[in-house]
Structure formats: structure tokens, C-alpha cells
Amino acid sequence: MTATPNSDAVGQAYVEMALAIEQHQPGTIDAYFGPSSWKAAAEAAGKRPLDELAARARELAAAVSASDWEPQRKHFLSKQVAAMQTSLRLLAGASVPFAAEVEALYDITPVRVDDAVFEEAKRELEGLLPGDGSLNERLRALRKRFEIPLERALELFECAKEETRARTRALFALPAEEDVELRLVKDKPWGAYNWYRGGHRSLIELNTDSPVHVNGMVGLLAHEGYPGHHTEHAIKEQALYEQRGWIEACVLLINAPECVVSEGIATSAAEAIFEEGEMEQWMRAELYPRAGVQDILSLEDTLKIQRASQVLGRVGNNAALMIHVDGQPDDVVIEYLLRYSGRTREEAARNIRFMKDPLFRSYIFTYSYGHDLMKALFAKYGKRAVFERALSEPLTPSGLRAWLSA
Ligand SMILES: [Zn+2]
């Protein structure tokens, strides 16, 4: 890193608050690339009393609103600080209704999806999927056709990485020196994770608890790497932290509105670099032959299956509401997930563990709500213009909604 960020007391107080919350709830900070002395000081201070932190967070919120920063920076930080205040309340054991928790942490309102929507997508899938048996069995049979041996996984992921990276470089201003390392891991609650390390570098961990499927690789690399999480963080580190000297941009939080924007970028990342059907054509031409896999479906049916599966992907939202609002037992929620997906029972159980983790219990909503905002913006302003802004400006869901209705 070359540029020295301007010293800024409010920005520093924000970063220190994040580091203090991290002492109570490890994992709160998704990435940190600020001064190492601040991190060391927070670790030395350990768990400061929660009422002391709540008082400091109130002062921070007041300082942000009194600052003479430009409106976008100020709006972003005020929303992020409000989320921190909610995290502190939750850590102190306050009882916060689940919907209010999601609103305060992520700046979105969680709404249950009508099961009729899933039934419709399920009927459509049943008409498209080969074979017979339940929807779950048929989805799993289709998925199985794309399963590859673990020892081939890394090399094929690298191939997907190079393609998504080249396309991203051609469209967006990635820092000249940036890098993504891929690593296979086991025994994790998620399928893949991008660990942003600062200095325009990321480590993407790919969980191999479940078999690896070649048809998901390009979408996954687009989501985690190019032009998804890695790209966003690398561009923002350069544009906000290094060039503008906005010190608060050196920390990324898990329970905050910025996640909705990040997941909106990530879930539409493949769409940003491929035209419709282009990714599947590329996989059929380049990736499947290397993997020794053949697609038996027409391109048209594959795309229809993808769209219907995307609708069914939202059963996770309802599952979170079943757990946290209705208080349904695990087995009921597992059956619900299996009815509308090709998950195995173990995968459904893993999803539930993820949704019960205090750090991730309401995270599931960030994906679909972020995705919907991006899709609506694409339709209005075009995907390239939307991506350029989302990759380089501090945005919140409220900010995206205001942009949409501007
Ligand atoms: Zn993601």
C-alpha cells in the first residue's frame, strides 16, 4: 500500500468500534487492512463492557451526523453505525424481534415468500427435468452428472478463475496488482468464502464437504472473485481507502448493510460478464470437455432450469423465518428445504446450522434482496453502469432504492 489515508477521528472511531465488537463476537469483521497498531490495541483491550461500547457507539452516531462529509459517505457510515448499535444490543441480550433485527442490521425488510411461488417453480422444473422420482431426487440425479473427482477440482476452478478474471479486467477497473488464491477446505458451514486480505489480494476457500460439480464452478468464481467479492473489495480499497483516504473503508463488516450490496454484486456477477446463455456455452465448449462431462440437456432447458432453481433458492428465506419467527423444530425445516431443493439431508442440516449461528442467522436475506435491487437497477440503467458504481462507491440498500426511484 502506498498512499497514507488522511487522519480522520470519526473514521478512526468507527474502525475502533468494529475492532471492539470483534472482541465480543469473532467474525464480525469480514476483512481488515487498516493500521495493525489499532488491531493490536483492540486485542490488548479485550472485551470492553458492552454498556461502555454502546455509549461510544451513540457518540459515534452523533459525530457522523455532525460531520461535514459528503452526503454519500455520511449516509453510508450512519447506516453502518446503526447496524453496529444493533449488534451491541443483541450481544447484551436485548430481545429484538427478528424482522426488526434484519432491518436494523441490513437495511432491508424480510418478507415471507408465498409457497405458491415455489409450487409454480417446482411444477415447471418437474416438466423439464429428466427421469422420474421426487423433485429432490431428480435434481440430485441431474447434479450428479456434473460431479467431478476431488483431485481434478482445483485445476478446473483455476480455469474458471482465469476466464472470469479476463472478462472482468476487460470491463472494470481492477487494480493492476491484484490476486486471488484458491484453496480447497473441509468442514465449514458455507460452500465457499472469499477472505479479502487487503493489498488487492484474496483467498477463496472452497468447501469440499459435498461433492464438487463442474457446472457451478464459473458462477462460483464470478460470485466470490471476478467481478464479485474480491473485485468489489479490491476496487473499493483502491478507490476509497488509498485514493480518497477514507479510513473507515479499511474494515468490512458481516452484520451490516454493506453486505446486501456485496451479495447483490456477487449474485449478479456472472450476469455482469456474460450475456444470457454465454456462460453455459463457454462451459460446454471449454470446461466440460476438460472435466470429461457432457451436458444432456438443451441450452434452452438448462437456462429454464436455472431460472426456476433460482426461485426455489429463496426457500432459505422462509426457512430462516420458520426457525426464528415461528420457532419450528429442525426436522420440520429440513423437510421444507428438501421439498423444494436438490439438497441432501446433510446439506439441509448444514444450512440450518448456518442460520442458527448468531453471526449469520439473518444473513440469508442479503442474497436475494441484494440480487433483486441489482436486477431492478440493471433494467433501468444497464448492468455495466450499475456495476461500475456498485464496485466503487459506498452504497447501502437505502441508497440503491433511492437511486432506483431517482
Ligand atoms: Zn457472497
| 337-393 per-position pLDDT tens digit | 999 988 889 889 989 998 999 899 999 999 999 999 999 999 999 999 999 999 999
The DSSP call for residue 110 is -
Question: Please, what's the b/e burial string for 92-131 (b: 16 or more CB within 10 A of its CB; e: otherwise)?
Answer: eeeeeebeebbbbbbbbebeebeeeebeebbebbeebbee
What pLDDT score was predicted for residue 131? 86
Q: Tell me the angle at which helices 50-66 and 71-91 cross, rounded to the nearest 10 degrees.
A: 170
Mean pLDDT of the chain: 95
The β-bridge relationship of strands 212-213 and 147-148 is antiparallel
Contact between 106 and 397 under an 8 Å Cβ cutoff? The reply is yes
Q: How far is the CA of 388 from the centre of ligand 1 (A)?
A: 18
What pLDDT score was predicted for residue 4? 38
Q: How far is the CA of 281 from the centre of ligand 1 (A)?
A: 24
Q: What share of the chain is helix, strand, coil (3-state, %, to 5)?
A: 65, 10, 30
Q: How far is the CA of 384 from the centre of ligand 1 (A)?
A: 20
Predicted model pTM:
0.95
Q: How far is the CA of 272 from the centre of ligand 1 (A)?
A: 15
Q: How far is the CA of 45 from the centre of ligand 1 (A)?
A: 31
Helix (H) or strand (E) holding 202: strand 201-207
What pLDDT score was predicted for residue 177? 95
Sign (positive or negative) of CA dihedral 312, 317, 319, 322: negative
pLDDT digits (tens, 9 = 90+) for 232-243: 999 999 999 999
What pLDDT score was predicted for residue 324? 97
β-pair partners for 201: 179, 198
Nearest to 317 by CA among 366, 356, 353: 366
Q: How far is the CA of 223 from the centre of ligand 1 (A)?
A: 6
Contact between 54 and 85 under an 8 Å Cβ cutoff? The reply is yes
For the chain, what percent of residues have pLDDT higher than 90?
90
